[in-house]
Amino acid sequence: MFTRRALMGAVAALSLLGGGHAAMAQDKMYVALISKGFQHQFWQAVKQGADKAGADLGVDVSFDGPDNETQVDKQMDMLAAALAKKPSAIGLAALDSQALIPQLKQAQAAKIPVIAFDSGVEGDIPVATASTDNLAASALAADKMAEFLGGEGKIAVVGHSQTSTTGIDRRDGFLNEIKEKYPKIEVIATEYGDGDQLKSTEITKAILAANPDIKGIFGTNEGSAIGVLNGVREMGAKIVVIGFDSGRAQKDAIRDGSMAGAITQNPVGIGYETVKAAVAAAKGEAVPKQIDTGFYWYDKSNIDDPKIAAVLYD
Amino acid sequence: MTDIGIERQEARRSGSAQQKLLAFASLIVLVAGFSLASPRFFQIDNILSILQATSVNGVLAVGVTMIIITGGIDLSIGTMMTFTAVMTGVVLTWGGMPLPLGILAAIGTGAACGLISGTLVAKARIPPFIATLGMMLVLKGLSLIVTGTKPIYFNGTEGYTLISQGSVIGRMLPAFPVPNGVLILFAVAGLVAWILGRTVLGRYTFALGSNEEAVRLSGVNTDRWKMAIYALAGGICGIAGLLISSRLNSAQPALGLGYELEAIAAVVIGGTSLSGGRGTILGTLIGALIMSVLTNGLRVLSVAPEWQTVVTGVIIIVAVYADQLRRRGSH
């Protein structure tokens, strides 16, 4: 009895919440953002930018995303739920564009414009894409790595995903640049830690154990980079670590010299531009197909530069 | 308990001895195989890495072994570990309190969460799978709420990283700096093995898994024992929370999901029956070691990541199948 009553209570409370939101959505323009994650600092920074744009432009913005970057199915459900709320526009960072095609078609049929952000959405349904050029960003990481190594040595990559577009682009942007420009640098391992710090730590330690002569490792997102850093520290190795994104641990490591530097995107800008483009598209205004939100290299020398500090998050 | 019960217990003991032997043999074969395949594998540094990689999963697995022996399951251990780490962060970093209180917070939080799960299972009669699935989600959410989705760092607590990364042994034997995390794992395993083998709580743990109804009918308050076991396992989960947060020097609120399955896999490889009544801590330790030897070895050999996953899955199935064959043979 106790459980049934509790369950009924919960259902009632949920339906109240849902009803409240739907009513709110009718008064104002409403933009639903579905991201690839929610808890990571990076996504929180995107959300911050989106919320700011929402306040500036006077629209309601919701932000949702699955727990980790493998939960394609959860993201499908979130998109379906967002569509059901009949938003003015949708912002989407697809985990897997192919899997989302049915819902994207549904959005198209309902004349709800879709703005892709971060990793983007394949196909011609999105009216615009607000993203970092990940290929170019990680090519810059490769150039910096080569600079630190003096153009030769063995290196490895600890990636965050073997299947998502950002994961693939950051890996390939880095690997291609090394292959084309630095023939004396050899990439001996490319592994994937799902952006999980502990997994990435163990991977790094295994790579270091297998290759004591390794000179540098590139971690392709925040969790990977911190994992690499932990692994290197625990093994007492002295190698060049290059990271991606920010977060407090990474910033501290760059300040104390244990990390050579990192590439940062502009997550706040990604969120802001996505909502701005979504509102414009919903009003029927023209939006540029590709909105480059930018990226920067930062290290000890420029980490406190106001332009850099503004896009870093803790 | 009757004579039949004692006989059964004897049979169980010899059976699990065989299983331990089997699991131990698999571990030796794996280590030997990887050592032959790569000269980098059997190096002191790498062996220490493997041991350290076992510490978090090992502690979780030891804790959940007790619950699995009662015929239950605890799916919440991964996110519970995270929640205990978060509460430690709240006490140490936000509260600025001394380290012993932080340790107490982790173990106390774990024990409290375990007690809730145990109460749901024993008193509210919710199947353990469902009760702990619910707890898994509740605790995951609570970690995010408490932290505001941001990690809590332990920079203000001096020596926090030493809990898992320091080495007491290394001070005496510089050539063999076994990380403290590994010692903690062995200490926890020893404690639980003692509880299971030598105490009343241990005897009831096995008895609940073999035939709960018989135990109840013989006048034992099974609910109370069950709650105690879940609470104890929760406290052990808190130790895992200390280990992981000490290793990462932070409480990462998004971490934890998926760790429960790795721990349960280690328990099962170690020969503990998911239907309860049978299992050993030594087996679980060996199971956890097999898991980390496997992942480390495949990485050292540079096996493609997608194949690493396939091989790990196959090994789990083979280990459990071998156990089934042996048991069928003994009947």
- pLDDT per position as a tens digit, A229-274: 999 999 999 999 999 999 889 999 999 999 999 999 999 999 999 9
Of B40, B43, B248, the CB nearest to A230: B248
Interchain proximity A207–B299, CB inside 8 Å: yes
What is the interface pTM, i.e. ipTM, of the complex?
0.70
Domain boundaries, chain A: 25-132+267-294, 134-265
User: Residues B222, B228, B233, CA angle at the centre, nearest 5°?
Assistant: 130
Q: How far A206 CA lies from chain B's nearest CA (Å)?
A: 5
- Contact by Cβ (8 Å): B71, B275: yes
In sequence order, what are the beta bridge partners of A291?
A130
Q: How far B151 CA lies from chain A's nearest CA (Å)?
A: 9
DSSP secondary structure letter of residue B206: H
Q: Is A66 helix (H, G, I), strand (E, B) or coil?
A: coil
Cα–Cα distances (Å) from B20 to B13, B61, B267, in that order, read: 10, 16, 12
CATH no., domain A134-265? 3.40.50.2300
B326 CB-contact burial (10 Å; exposed 0-12 / middle 13-18 / buried 19+): middle
pLDDT for residue A185: 96
Weakest-pLDDT range from A29-43, A137-151, A249-263:
A29-43
> For residues A73 and A15, which has the higher predicted lDDT (pLDDT)?
A73
Tokens of A299: 């290290």
Q: What is the mean pLDDT of the segment spanning A93-101?
A: 82
pLDDT for residue A73: 78
Of A39, A210, A211, the CB nearest to B144: A39
pLDDT for residue A47: 92
Largest CA distance in chain B: 59
pLDDT for residue B322: 77
pLDDT for residue A224: 96
Residues of chain B where predicted confidence (pLDDT) is lower than 70? 1-20, 327, 329-331
Assign 3-class secondary structure to A28-44.
Answer: CCEEEEECCCCCCHHHH
The CA distance from A107 to A89, in Å, is: 9
> For residues A94 and B11, which has the higher predicted lDDT (pLDDT)?
A94
Name residue, tokens 């407090």.
A248
Cα–Cα distances (Å) from B223 to A46, B125, B206, in that order, read: 48, 10, 14
Q: What is the mean pLDDT of the segment spanning A210-222?
A: 95
> Which positions in chain B have a beta carbon within 8 angstroms of at least one beta carbon in chain A?
38, 40-41, 43, 45-46, 49, 52-53, 56, 124, 126, 140, 144, 149-151, 153, 155, 165, 244, 247-250, 252-255, 257, 292, 295-296, 299-302, 305-306
Tokens of B214: 């018989």
The amino acid sitting at B19 is: Q
Interchain proximity A202–B296, CB inside 8 Å: yes
Chain A: residue nearest B293 by CA?
A206
Name residue, tokens 């009513």.
A23
pLDDT for residue B132: 97
A·B CB contacts under 8 A: 89
Interchain proximity A162–B38, CB inside 8 Å: no
Q: Which domains does chain B have, with CATH numbers?
A: 17-330 (1.10.3470)
The CA distance from B119 to B126, in Å, is: 9
pLDDT for residue A13: 46
Terminal alpha carbon distance of chain B: 23
CATH no., domain A25-132+267-294? 3.40.50.2300
Interchain proximity A202–B49, CB inside 8 Å: yes
Interchain proximity A197–B153, CB inside 8 Å: no
B46 interaction partners in chain A (CB closer than 8 Å): 205-206, 209
Q: How far A291 CA lies from chain B's nearest CA (Å)?
A: 28
Average pLDDT, chain A: 87
The CA distance from B215 to B227, in Å, is: 15
Q: Is B93 helix (H, G, I), strand (E, B) or coil?
A: helix
For the cut 50, the answer to whether the pLDDT of residue A277 exceeds it is yes
B124 interaction partners in chain A (CB closer than 8 Å): 2-3
Chain B: residue nearest A235 by CA?
B45
pLDDT for residue B192: 97
The CA distance from A189 to B88, in Å, is: 36
- Contact by Cβ (8 Å): B97, B90: no
Interchain proximity B299–A314, CB inside 8 Å: no
pLDDT for residue A226: 95
| pLDDT band, very low/low/confident/very high, at A22 (cuts 50, 70, 90) | very low
Interchain proximity A314–B150, CB inside 8 Å: yes
CA B166, B172, B178, B183 torsion-angle sign: negative
Count of CB atoms situated within 10 Å of the CB of B96? 9
Cα–Cα distances (Å) from A58 to A54, A55, A277, in that order, read: 6, 5, 14
For the cut 50, the answer to whether the pLDDT of residue A45 exceeds it is yes
The CA distance from B166 to B146, in Å, is: 29
